[in-house]
Structure 1
Amino acid sequence: MGISNSLRAGVQASLFCLLGFALGAQGQTILIKDARILTLGDQGTLENGDLLVRDGKILQIAEELGDVAAELIIDGRGKVVTPGLIAPSSELGLTEIGAAASTNDGAVVEQSIGAAFDPVVAFNARSTLIPFNRAGGLTRAIVLPASEEKIFAGQGFAIKLTGEFDSVTDRQLVQKVYFGEYGAQLAGGSRAMAFTQLESALQQAKEYSDNRDQIRRGQWRELDFTLDDLEALQPVLRGEQRLLVSADRASDILQLLTLADTYQIRPIIIGAAEGWMVADQLAKARVPVVVDVLGNTPDAFEKLGARMDNAALLHKAGVTVAISGPGYAGSHNSYLSRQAAGNAVAYGLPFEEGVRSVTANVAEIFGIDGGVLAPGGAAELVVWSGDPLEVTSFAELVLIDGKPQSLVNRSTRLRDRYLHPKAGTGHGYKN
């Protein structure tokens, strides 16, 4: 049985990136020529442009750079260059196998800690899910804790998908809270109780801020939350840390907008299946959303209004939209956010906005680096074989800080092991 063109291209890409990876440590100069370049910045889209990388930075982007000396020259004809994908919601490095409790470090069960929970110390940069998602064009991710007991899950952080031990870039980046159906379940069975707990936490955090010394000396009334949790909410009250709240039902979103206005906090709504119903209110409040555009089926009562053009309608109203990977895929397939973005484009989201929803918009929403290509900026990009939102396209080259990353992962090793009849155990496919 012959090897398909796509499989052959994948093998070639892996070998090419292994070579580049070896060279990358030396900070080489890389020139990409004659490619379609989506900068998502001031230079817009270059239909046939050149991009020069040196010492980890983008040195130049232009229609024609002429003859430039470079250790690595990439023929970009027929290819597309974009910023690296950024996952707005993942558990990368905190989970390995969902069904194996010993490989999951992203949630606390039966503990008093809530908002103060910070799982960053459990982050595993060598998780097998990181190279797998990196091979799909993912270069950064927001890593979030989960909760099985409290509406407050804890602190999220940001990473680069280098697989290095220093790959955490932003700690205590966001505070995650559950509302909606799951939040109601955690709070005792009612949305009203979940809302009361959230409001009480913010109110008591403010009370703690105004009376910290007396409270710590025990000269104050008994509070419902631990001092560690109230301390952890102070950046939220100061507007220094965003509050990521899960909510799908339109009425839930409106309640959260009212709460945000009362306490002058900066929320991000994740889920927003019925966000299109309150798109104008979200836009007016300047509250961004993270949506799963493939979750269009009413699999819960709070999602009866879900529709495939949700992202398009939100964008049209002026809401900043980020797109996550499919909910069913979770962290294991965070890179599939680009497929979801492609579906959003098919249902009315402008193409460039579709690319932004998995790159620049994510960086903007969470206040992290990345997401655009510009001279002087970090060389964090992907060279795609074709349209980046088309499922048949694949990443041929992934750069992080100007270094070509290996695209070899557990899946490609398994593929190569059983590619030929005599490979591996000798039980590969035969004609």
Structure 2
Amino acid sequence: MSNLVLFDDPTIRPALLPFTFTRPVADIRVGILTIAEKWAIRLDTTPSFITETYLSGKYPLQTATSNLYVNGALCPTDELVDRLKTLALGESLISPSGLLMALHTDYVVKEAAQLTDLPQHTITFDAMVPTIRHLWSLIAANGIQIQSDFVLLTAGRQSQPITDPFTRCYAPENVFIEEGAIVRAAILNAEDGPIYIGKDVIISEGSVLIGPCSFGEGTMVHYNSSMRKNTSVGPYCKVGGEIGNSILFANSGKGHEGYLGDSVVGEWCNLGAGTNTSNLKNDYSTVKLHSYVTKNPVDTGRMFCGLFMGDFTKTGIGTMFNTGTVVGVNVNVFGTGLPPKYVPSFSWGGAIDGFMTYRLEKAVQVAREAFKRRNQAFDGQEESILREIFTIERMGSPHNTPLSFLTDL
């Protein structure tokens, strides 16, 4: 197999902000796995990335004499993987809409925009491939991706048994439990889709899990929690209350009562007790979301659409979010009332008193402490990424949004 490189499509990456402020497109979690993890398992290789320069230290590019460049927004399917294995040198795949899907070449490319300029024989690939083009693509695709990843991760393997006599399981053949996981006095209903419980996960007493849903390694589900279908909780998260059709990437906390619906929460976030999200408008109209591309709200075409929260963001107790809210990286939201439907990165405040810029040094200090609480090292790479995002969002980059824009959309 050729060297695998997952590239950020320059037309897609901006549409997936704020999550792509801190990661390549392919490091986004949808289903049980990140997109990069799906490719790594299917092609039995370790991919590298073409992404923004300030992210390249954490996500480096590795090239060889033969390179397979694959669009990082594509979730692999059997048909696509089989076709890529036979893609000849100098051939590329495009979708019927003209999206560059993959290119096999001996050229070394460091910027995604250069890929279309290389000599290539273009082939249209007609089969459907799940593509994460928009923020709402994540919640639209999550249930199907959980099921796809479940098959990928469990094929030919035996689940650990449920030994707790007080746990009730419906459709146990659709439940897979990894080593070290603990399930106590819970209800697992996998009749409508699989339930994946990762290594060392704790499912506490009184919790109800409805498949399809997944819980990554080291995650804790607190007692009396309701985990509704199409929910993915990444590794080392702490969750409680009610969650439905939502994704938490990794190392984030929603440990208390409150509803999180049709939402995506990045890494290193924490939702204070009683934080609630609205995911349905009172008039049942489709939800609009702030676009980092147009700087205006765009219609998602979805009736159900909640909160999209970038990494390192936190909420105070009792925080409420309106339908279709986008919150950037390293934001601190607190107080009563509904915050604006768009809050830029490095903001500090709430609906009543407004927002001010979150001091960079304070934000870095808090991020460092968050890593320490999980016994992880906040290194120079992590710090430099946050400092660059602060510059992008606050110091006049094309993505910068002035504080005067902090009004309800």
**Structure showing greater relative contact order (alpha-carbon pairs closer than 8 Å, 6 or more residues apart):** 1
TM-score, shorter chain, exceeding 0.5: no
* Larger Rg over CA atoms: 1
- Say which structure is richer in helix: 1
